[in-house]
Amino acid sequence: MSDDNKNLGDDLNDMLGDAKESAKKASEQAKEFASEAKEKASEFSKDAQSSAKEFSESAKETFSSENKKVLAGVLAILLGGLGIHKFILGYTKEGIIILVATIILSIITCGIFSGALWILGLIEGIIYLTKTDEEFYNTYQVGHKPWF
Protein backbone atom coordinates (compact mmCIF):
# COMPACT_ATOMS: atom_id res chain seq x y z
CA MET A 1 0.00 0.00 0.00
CA SER A 2 2.87 2.26 0.51
CA ASP A 3 3.73 1.88 -3.18
CA ASP A 4 0.18 2.91 -3.98
CA ASN A 5 0.51 5.92 -1.69
CA LYS A 6 3.85 6.75 -3.23
CA ASN A 7 2.41 6.46 -6.76
CA LEU A 8 -0.58 8.50 -5.70
CA GLY A 9 1.73 11.11 -4.18
CA ASP A 10 3.81 11.19 -7.36
CA ASP A 11 0.68 11.56 -9.44
CA LEU A 12 -0.51 14.41 -7.23
CA ASN A 13 2.89 16.10 -7.48
CA ASP A 14 2.78 15.73 -11.27
CA MET A 15 -0.72 17.18 -11.33
CA LEU A 16 0.33 20.01 -9.04
CA GLY A 17 3.29 20.74 -11.31
CA ASP A 18 0.99 20.70 -14.37
CA ALA A 19 -1.48 22.98 -12.59
CA LYS A 20 1.33 25.41 -11.71
CA GLU A 21 2.51 25.46 -15.32
CA SER A 22 -1.05 25.99 -16.56
CA ALA A 23 -1.54 28.77 -14.04
CA LYS A 24 1.73 30.38 -15.11
CA LYS A 25 0.69 30.20 -18.79
CA ALA A 26 -2.75 31.60 -17.95
CA SER A 27 -1.12 34.42 -16.01
CA GLU A 28 1.14 35.25 -18.95
CA GLN A 29 -1.80 35.15 -21.35
CA ALA A 30 -3.80 37.41 -19.03
CA LYS A 31 -0.91 39.88 -18.91
CA GLU A 32 -0.68 39.86 -22.71
CA PHE A 33 -4.43 40.34 -23.00
CA ALA A 34 -4.36 43.20 -20.50
CA SER A 35 -1.50 44.83 -22.39
CA GLU A 36 -3.36 44.52 -25.70
CA ALA A 37 -6.56 45.83 -24.11
CA LYS A 38 -4.66 48.81 -22.71
CA GLU A 39 -3.20 49.58 -26.15
CA LYS A 40 -6.62 49.30 -27.81
CA ALA A 41 -8.18 51.54 -25.15
CA SER A 42 -5.45 54.10 -25.68
CA GLU A 43 -5.98 54.03 -29.45
CA PHE A 44 -9.75 54.32 -28.96
CA SER A 45 -9.27 57.28 -26.63
CA LYS A 46 -7.05 59.05 -29.16
CA ASP A 47 -9.55 58.38 -31.96
CA ALA A 48 -12.43 59.63 -29.81
CA GLN A 49 -10.56 62.82 -28.92
CA SER A 50 -9.72 63.40 -32.58
CA SER A 51 -13.33 62.85 -33.62
CA ALA A 52 -14.61 65.17 -30.89
CA LYS A 53 -12.15 67.86 -31.96
CA GLU A 54 -13.21 67.54 -35.62
CA PHE A 55 -16.88 67.68 -34.63
CA SER A 56 -16.31 70.74 -32.46
CA GLU A 57 -14.46 72.58 -35.22
CA SER A 58 -17.12 71.66 -37.76
CA ALA A 59 -19.89 72.81 -35.43
CA LYS A 60 -18.16 76.15 -34.86
CA GLU A 61 -17.87 76.72 -38.62
CA THR A 62 -21.49 75.74 -39.21
CA PHE A 63 -22.97 77.86 -36.44
CA SER A 64 -20.83 80.88 -37.22
CA SER A 65 -22.11 81.52 -40.75
CA GLU A 66 -24.85 79.48 -42.39
CA ASN A 67 -27.02 78.79 -39.37
CA LYS A 68 -26.79 82.43 -38.30
CA LYS A 69 -28.16 83.35 -41.71
CA VAL A 70 -31.01 80.85 -41.50
CA LEU A 71 -31.80 81.66 -37.88
CA ALA A 72 -31.78 85.42 -38.49
CA GLY A 73 -33.88 85.03 -41.64
CA VAL A 74 -36.52 82.85 -40.02
CA LEU A 75 -36.72 85.04 -36.92
CA ALA A 76 -36.99 88.16 -39.09
CA ILE A 77 -39.92 86.61 -40.97
CA LEU A 78 -41.70 85.31 -37.86
CA LEU A 79 -40.81 87.93 -35.23
CA GLY A 80 -39.47 90.82 -37.32
CA GLY A 81 -41.40 93.47 -35.40
CA LEU A 82 -39.54 92.56 -32.21
CA GLY A 83 -36.08 92.94 -33.77
CA ILE A 84 -34.82 89.60 -32.49
CA HIS A 85 -33.03 88.96 -35.79
CA LYS A 86 -30.92 92.07 -35.18
CA PHE A 87 -29.81 90.76 -31.78
CA ILE A 88 -28.83 87.43 -33.40
CA LEU A 89 -26.58 89.29 -35.85
CA GLY A 90 -25.02 91.33 -33.05
CA TYR A 91 -26.79 94.61 -33.85
CA THR A 92 -27.99 95.41 -30.35
CA LYS A 93 -28.69 99.11 -30.95
CA GLU A 94 -30.80 98.39 -34.04
CA GLY A 95 -32.66 95.59 -32.27
CA ILE A 96 -33.57 97.91 -29.41
CA ILE A 97 -34.71 100.59 -31.89
CA ILE A 98 -37.07 98.14 -33.62
CA LEU A 99 -38.39 96.77 -30.33
CA VAL A 100 -39.04 100.21 -28.80
CA ALA A 101 -40.59 101.51 -32.05
CA THR A 102 -42.94 98.53 -32.17
CA ILE A 103 -44.00 99.04 -28.55
CA ILE A 104 -44.51 102.79 -28.94
CA LEU A 105 -46.41 102.47 -32.24
CA SER A 106 -48.55 99.72 -30.75
CA ILE A 107 -49.46 101.89 -27.76
CA ILE A 108 -50.06 105.11 -29.70
CA THR A 109 -51.97 103.66 -32.68
CA CYS A 110 -53.49 100.62 -30.98
CA GLY A 111 -51.28 98.38 -33.11
CA ILE A 112 -52.33 99.74 -36.50
CA PHE A 113 -48.96 101.15 -37.63
CA SER A 114 -46.79 98.66 -35.76
CA GLY A 115 -47.57 96.23 -38.60
CA ALA A 116 -45.22 98.28 -40.77
CA LEU A 117 -42.28 97.08 -38.66
CA TRP A 118 -43.48 93.50 -38.99
CA ILE A 119 -43.54 93.94 -42.76
CA LEU A 120 -40.01 95.38 -42.70
CA GLY A 121 -38.92 92.32 -40.70
CA LEU A 122 -40.55 90.08 -43.29
CA ILE A 123 -38.67 91.86 -46.08
CA GLU A 124 -35.36 91.64 -44.19
CA GLY A 125 -35.91 87.93 -43.56
CA ILE A 126 -36.50 87.28 -47.24
CA ILE A 127 -33.38 89.27 -48.12
CA TYR A 128 -31.30 87.29 -45.60
CA LEU A 129 -32.50 83.94 -46.90
CA THR A 130 -32.08 84.77 -50.59
CA LYS A 131 -28.44 85.83 -50.25
CA THR A 132 -25.72 83.24 -50.66
CA ASP A 133 -23.82 82.27 -47.54
CA GLU A 134 -20.79 84.24 -48.72
CA GLU A 135 -22.82 87.37 -49.53
CA PHE A 136 -24.61 87.19 -46.19
CA TYR A 137 -21.38 86.72 -44.28
CA ASN A 138 -19.59 89.56 -46.08
CA THR A 139 -22.54 91.95 -45.86
CA TYR A 140 -23.87 91.43 -42.35
CA GLN A 141 -21.07 89.85 -40.35
CA VAL A 142 -17.92 91.33 -41.89
CA GLY A 143 -19.37 94.53 -43.36
CA HIS A 144 -21.70 95.18 -40.38
CA LYS A 145 -24.56 96.49 -42.53
CA PRO A 146 -27.38 96.83 -39.98
CA TRP A 147 -30.27 97.87 -42.25
CA PHE A 148 -31.40 96.14 -45.46
Long-range pairs, 71-75, Cβ under 8 A, ≥24: 72/125, 72/128, 72/140, 73/125, 73/126, 73/128, 73/129, 74/125, 74/129, 75/125
pLDDT of residue 93: 92
Assess whether pLDDT exceeds 90 at residue 126: yes
Q: What is the pLDDT of residues 56-112, one digit of tens each?
A: 666 555 555 556 889 999 999 998 888 889 998 888 999 898 888 888 888 888 877
Q: Is the pLDDT of residue 128 over 80?
A: yes
Long-range contacts of 10-13 (CB under 8 A, 24+ apart): none
The band of 134, judged by pLDDT with boundaries at 50, 70 and 90, is: confident
Q: Residue 24: pLDDT above 70?
A: yes
Q: Distance between CA 72 and CA 94 in Å, rounded?
A: 14
pLDDT tens for 30-63 read 788 878 878 887 887 787 787 777 766 665 555 5
What pLDDT, on a 0 to 100 scale, did the predictor assign at position 69? Answer: 87
Residue 133 near residue 121, CB atoms below 8 Å: no
pLDDT, position 58: 61
CA 66 distance to own-chain centroid: 15
